[in-house]
Each structure stands twice: as C-alpha cells, then as structure tokens.
Chain A
C-alpha cells in the first residue's frame, strides 16, 4: 500500500480504511497481532486483514461484517485525525486543477496543517514531482512528517518547520505552483513569487475564509505583478436518493352522474410513488474563498 500506488493485498504496516456503512469509516494501522474494535465486533489484523485483498468483506467477531478499502487521499481526508481545520475534497479538486498540478509538478504549500491537501498533492505529482511544505507549529510539522513516512510518500515531500511569512518556503526559483492556507497570506505573496520558476511563470492559490483576507491578498498579488487574478467559491451539494409517496386528494364521486364506480385501485389509499432526491437538512454553506493567480515570467 502507498498513497501514490495501488496494491492488491493488505500488508503489515499498511493504513487501511474500514468501511462500516453509510458515511461511517475508520482508518486502521495494520499490525501483526493487533486488534481493532468496531460496533460489529473485533477485527484481528493477523487473520482478518494481513494477506487479504483490498475491497474484501471481513466478518467481525459479533457476526457483522465490514469492507476494507485501499486508502486514497479522498478517503484519508474524511478519516484523518484533525490537528487543525482541514480542506475537503471539493476545494482540493478545484485547487488541483486550477493550479495545473500533474506528475512532475514542483509545489510549495503552507501551512501543512493536518496534511489533508498535502496527500492529494502528493498523489497528483508522483512519481517525479516534489512538495515543499512549510508548517510553523513544531509538533504538527513532526506529526505530519511521520504520517508521510507511514504512508510511504516521504520521498516526495520535504517538511520545513519555519514561518513562511518571515522565512519563505526554503526554496527559490523551483516551484510550478504555490498554495497558501495561512491567516495572513498577503505577507507570503512575495515569498511565493520568489519560490516559483523564473522563466516559466506558474500558478498560485490562496484559501481564506474571510473576504477581507481575500481583498488584502488580491492587492498584494496585483502589487507583485501577478496576472489573471480570480476569486471563486465552490460548494458541494449532496443529494440523498429517496422514494417518496405523495397521497392524492379525494374529490368525492364524479358529478357527471357516472354510474360506474371509481376503479377500486384508486379508492382508499390513492397515492403516487416516485424516486427523487432530497437535500440534506444542513450543508456546509461556506468553507473559504479560493483566489488564483498566474505568476508572470520574469
């Protein structure tokens, strides 16, 4: 298992995702001899996981069963331990496309946070790209570096524990793309420019929850000569598939003096059934604004 390569069978040391049912999952570190408790009973790693194929059904001790899934950045995003607010797949997808990431891209990121976006970037830029990620919080930087090792992507990423607004990204003239998710992104715009390739230009993105942050960032970007500045917001809508039954009102007997009785089918419980979708009762109404820009060639 690796986050950048599929494998068929579960091995000791893998991170597997146990799928318990609709919207209910848990990440599991697979270890010889270890056990994991679920609401369906115990999963014994040595017999139930190691050597099994990803995607198989695992019967737990209480007779219930779960599926074990191969990890992907998207599954990790919904299962990772939060050490900060994280970015979700909807924003990540747009960031990835709008930053034009692909295999071989050199990317700078700050802050690393819980590594939700980092995993998605690494998946996209492997096998020849590299991620330079900067996190000013020491424990968080150490923790995320450890996760990268466990997920077998450490060769693709360098974690630096420094303040991006003061010390930049630790590299100059190499990046194709820069991503900022920090409280004062406008203070890092200059460093972002310095980190990027001179001749090729490149793309930059800043994620901010507040519009005032966006305004200051856009001003800083324009002042530094960035072009194609564009701010957008994307919201995900989930549609729950349902079968609904709508009763039909009874208008009483037909006044046209019809002698025939109404057809028996339409008598007591006249209703129509149809498949539709219902919106969830609540949804995320805002995550943040995404501001993109292109660094001109210099």
Chain B
C-alpha cells in the first residue's frame, strides 16, 4: 500500500479544489479558481501556479501576485560565525539603531528585493544587532521575517485546520467553540463510520463538517436546522467528495413536534418553512433561500402560444421561455425538497439514532429534551454551550426526567508551550475559555419513576422509546 505514481495524483492541488492558505498561525479557506485574485494577510496573489504542486507546498509571492514554490529550506542565511553580546547592559534605546529610513525600505521593496535580502539589509544597518544576545538576534530575525517574507503554504483542509481557522478568524460564527472542545465532542459522542448521527448546530457548518469527516461517508447524518434552511458554508470548505453528501439529510426543527405526534405530512406539496422564520437571523443565510412559495405555476400566465413568431416578438418569447423554465425549476426544486423531507423523516421515525451532537446559539435545554427522543437507548449525546448556566439547566432537567446516565458537565483548559533550547516556557497568551460540554448516555425509560427524582411531567403524547422487555 505504499505510494505510487497513481496515488500521487490525490496529493496534488487541482483546479476547483477547496484549500486552506497558511501563513504563520493564520489560516484562510479558499477555492482554487483560474485567474482569481486572493487577498490574504495584506497581500494579493493568484493561485493558478499552485495547480499541480503537492499539498503542503510553501510558495513565495513574487511581483504580480504569482506564486513560486519555495526552494527547499533556505538555511538560515545569517552568517554562522556571527558575534553576539552576552547581555543588554550597554544597549541604549535612542531610536537611532536602524540606519535605514522607512523610505529606504520602501525603495528596497519597490526594487523587487526578496524578503530575505531586505532582512539582511536591516541587520547590516542595525548598529545594535551585534551587541544583542544570540537569542535576541534570533528573535529579531524572526520578527522581521514575519513582516517581510512573503510566503504562503497551501494545505488540504481537515477538521483540525478548519477548527483552528474558525476559532482564530471568526469565533463569533462558531459560538466561540475552541478546537479542543470540538475534539472532545467528536470523541464523547463516539462519532464513527456506520452510525446514524443527529446534529443540531449553528456553527457555520464546522461541527457538521467535523462529524462528516469522522464518518468518512459511511452511515448517515441528519442535520436538524432552525429557520429556512441549514447553514453549510463551513462544510463546503472541507471539500468532501460528492458521495459524502449522499449520507447527509436535513430536517427542519419546526417539524419535530409534528413528526413525534405522527401528524407530519411529507406528501404535502408545500413543506413551507415560513413558520420557522421566526428564529432565523440575519447572520444565517440559508444556502437555499426559501422563496415564499405561493405562486403556483398556473398563476404565472404561461401563455405559450405557438406559431411563427415575428422577429420583434423574439424578446417577448425569450422572456416567456425563461419564465416557463423558472417555473419548471421551481417545481423540480419543490419536489426535491419534499423528497428530502420525507427521507429525513424516515430516518428519524425509528427513534433509533446512534448519537446526538448539539452546538448552537439557542438555549440548549429545549433542543436537547426535544432531540433526545430520537436516540436509541445506550447511545451517547453531547451538548455544547458557550455558557455554563445553560448546561446547568439541562443537567437539572435531565435528572428530573430520567432516561440518561453518566451525565458530566465539563470544560477543557488548553495551554501551548514554546519549546526551544534554554527557552522553554508556556506561551504567554492562552485562551480564556472554549465553552462547556454536557455529555451523557441514554438509557431505556420505563414506567416506574427513576429513583430519587421528583415527579417529571410526562406529556401524554410522548411516545415511549421502548417498553421494558421483561420476558
């Protein structure tokens, strides 16, 4: 199973691929498109030249925004037999140590000097550089590199990279879910190939994508969504193969009650989600904006009078044709939507799902109580919330209700380290918090009250997940 030429192709960047750009600790997800200008970290460039190169290649950005694969590790070009001070007792900050002015540096840049060369110039024109300690010199070079080296690495997207990217760039979009917390969720929910998993998230599709990656296209995922449609911007960036999407179902959360009561009509022509709009917000743009499906095709005056058309009528006819096409498309879309709803409903009906993952900006309590009903007994569930108090409420409610064991309210604390010879210490800044998790396992509910619980109000309509199998 070693690599060969045939397999080699899958490690190369292709046109249309979803990739992640990396510079330092900054990531950005983009799609490879011909002649597309990309702006990343105050630089602009075109990705055309990256096509055909292996993933994880580092490119240099040269003038005109073209990418050039970087030569193998340019060894630290700073002269090795360099002198260095032992301490800073004689270094005075007079603001005059750098003899190059800002203008000089700009000129160097305009001359098209490479980042490396500019840094070399800066070092040569720094009066204090030679008096600095070795460590301080290294630090100085590192800082200048960050500023003047125009390099970018192109990576294959993965859950690790996407989670770090979102947490760094747009934490608000993912409810401040830190990547180590996401890692806990995937593990605590025992997400794996072949299972049937329910996901309710408003994290731009990051959590959904992470779950899909862990399932590798085996099994099924039912995404419960609020509002007019599921948000999947994040899923797109994972660049999954098409067959991964065959396992993905979606179900509007506003139909959950109807489904449980058995009154959901999936044959209805118009599973219109307008009732659900109450909870959709501006930040969430459904991938398929739900048109207010009122107009039936008949109403759209499709007067397709055939016959020879005078030339001046061509315009009109074009319009008519377009209208007809649109109406047809709409019909097809509606039918598709109905089919999808029916398929998702069928998946849920058995109430035998294998796992439940919740991470949303909604109050987790009603979501959890509502969706737990779809889980088979002895299956794990995990709920994320940015706030501990919301999960305390969930915990209390579950204890009252019964039907779950092994409840744990946790969070994780993450610390990075700088590891360098004689300079090892924790990184100076660490994340203040990455949210909280409530996890547990479902068990069979029976008619006797769980011990030590207050009477839980059980709505009569609630179908018991199973009856005790006392033979």
Q: Given A69-B441, A96-B186 in contact, is the A291-B419 Cβ separation under 8 Å?
A: yes
Contact with B along A226-237 (1 / 0, CB 8 A): 000111111111
Contact with A along B203-222 (1 / 0, CB 8 A): 00000000001111110000
Cross-chain pairs A/B with CB under 8 angstroms, 20 sampled: A53-B378, A55-B376, A74-B190, A93-B186, A103-B216, A104-B216, A126-B192, A127-B218, A174-B1, A197-B2, A211-B417, A215-B419, A215-B424, A218-B419, A232-B414, A233-B417, A238-B409, A289-B417, A297-B11, A297-B55
Minimum C-beta distance from B428 to chain A (A): 14
Which residue in chain B gives the minimum CB-CB distance to A72?
B190
Residue in B2, B216, B414, B417 whose beta carbon sits within 8 Å of that of A214 in the complex: B417
CB contacts under 8 Å to B, within A197-245, are: 197-201, 211, 214-215, 218-219, 225, 229-241
B469 touches A277 (CB 8 A): no
Q: Which positions in A face B, CB cutoff 8 Å?
A: 4-6, 8, 19, 51-57, 67-70, 72-74, 89-90, 92-94, 96-98, 100, 102-104, 106, 120, 123-124, 126-128, 172-174, 197-201, 211, 214-215, 218-219, 225, 229-241, 275-277, 289, 291, 294, 296-297
Report Cα–Cα, A19/B406, bound state, in Å.
8
Residue in A67, A201, A241 whose beta carbon sits within 8 Å of that of B392 in the complex: A241
Note all chain A residues with C-beta closer than 8 A to B48.
none
Note all chain B residues with C-beta closer than 8 A to A5.
194
Minimum C-beta distance from A166 to chain B (A): 23
A294 touches B56 (CB 8 A): yes
Which residue in chain B gives the minimum CB-CB distance to A172?
B2
Report Cα–Cα, A211/B424, bound state, in Å.
9
Please report the total number of B residues contacting A with Cβ < 8 Å. Answer: 70
If A4-B192, A214-B417 are given as contacts, then 16 extra A-B residue pairs at C-beta distance below 8 Å, sorted by A number, are: A53-B377, A55-B444, A56-B468, A67-B444, A89-B187, A97-B180, A102-B159, A103-B215, A103-B216, A123-B190, A124-B214, A198-B2, A198-B3, A230-B416, A239-B436, A275-B393
- State the total of A-B contacts with C-beta under 8 angstroms: 200
Residue from the set B3, B56, B378 with the largest chain A CB neighbour count within 10 Å: B378
What are the nearest 3 A-B pairs in CB distance? Answer: A55-B377, A103-B216, A55-B378
Binding site secondary structure of chain A: mixed
Which residue in chain A gives the minimum CB-CB distance to B413?
A235
Minimum C-beta distance from B363 to chain A (A): 15
| B59 contacts partner chain A, Cβ-Cβ < 8 Å | no
Report Cα–Cα, A296/B73, bound state, in Å.
11
Q: Given A104-B216, A123-B192 in contact, is the A98-B415 Cβ separation under 8 Å?
A: no
Minimum C-beta distance from A106 to chain B (A): 7
B183 touches A236 (CB 8 A): no
CB contacts under 8 Å to A, within B388-414, are: 388, 392-393, 395-396, 405-406, 408-414
